[in-house]
Amino acid sequence: MKNILIICAMQEELDAVLDSFKKSYETIKIKNFTYYKFIHNKFIVYLVLSGIGKVNAALVTQFMVDRILPEYVFNIGVAGCLVDNLKFGDIVIASSLVQHDVNVAAFDLPLGQIPRMDVFDFKPNEYLLSIAAKIKQQIPNINIGRIVSGDQFIDDRATAEFLRTQFSALACEMEGAAIAHVCYFNDIPCLVIRSLSDLSGLENNANHSFLELKQMASDHAAKVAPILLAHL
Ligand code: ADE
């Protein structure tokens, strides 16, 4: 059986994914890492909590990759919206991920470009992209586009508009690009699936909306997980 790794930054997101599979699971604790293991169809699913931010996400991804050598890595959770035509609860699957807080403009690099890396953005492979396209046909309100990640909760209109225009991004969050970066190094296909909990300050106060809607958005994103695995 093949191993699948699912990473969530927050407990609410992880609990929603666990609920979506309706399976009994084993809980494993090693050092400061806790992960959950269950069988689903032809896969052994490992679900792990990373904590918030790029460093937490990267270190947990590498720790789990070294332990279980997953066939695929998925990151599931919530995001802030950066565009006018999407609404709370809509889902964005990342066709491209960029770390928006990387700034080496002093050496004429575009914002987001990590120096001396051979890529600008991190992308799912063709196979996972084709599955994303199938899921889009099956579930309403799924969008495929760029997500940007950084160690910042985006809660003001100017920054949200800047991220949208600079990166042509649909959504922002704090882990996806870091997870995709680690997967790129390890040559493991990765897909990031997020549901919108707030408007990143484009209209109303993002942190109020985030606190109010993160459960709904976590549930929406989590519902994609079993459907995704059914396609693999
Ligand atoms: N995750 C959910 N909403 C977010 C926001 N506005 N900024 C960064 N990460 C988020």
Q: Which atom of ligand 1 is nearest to the CA of 173?
A: 9
195 alpha carbon – ligand 1 mean position (Å): 10
User: Which H or E element spans position 165?
Assistant: helix 157-167
Instruction: Give the domain ranges of the chain.
Output: 2-231
- Options 126, 198, 212, 219, the catalytic residue: 198
Strands 169-173 and 142-149: parallel
pLDDT bin (cut points 50, 70, 90) of residue 217 is very high
The tokens for 82 are 């950066």
152 alpha carbon – ligand 1 mean position (Å): 8
Rounded distance between C-alpha atoms, residue 21 and residue 38, angstroms = 9
Q: What is the pLDDT of residues 96-147, one digit of tens each?
A: 999 999 999 999 999 999 999 999 999 999 999 999 999 999 998 999 999 9
- Residue keyed to tokens 């609860």: 89
- What phi and psi values does residue 33 have, to the nearest 5 degrees? -100, 135
104: buried, middle or exposed (CB in 10 Å: 19+, 13-18, 0-12)? middle
- Specify the pTM: 0.98
Strands 33-40 and 43-49: antiparallel
CATH topology of domain 2-231: Rossmann fold (3.40.50)
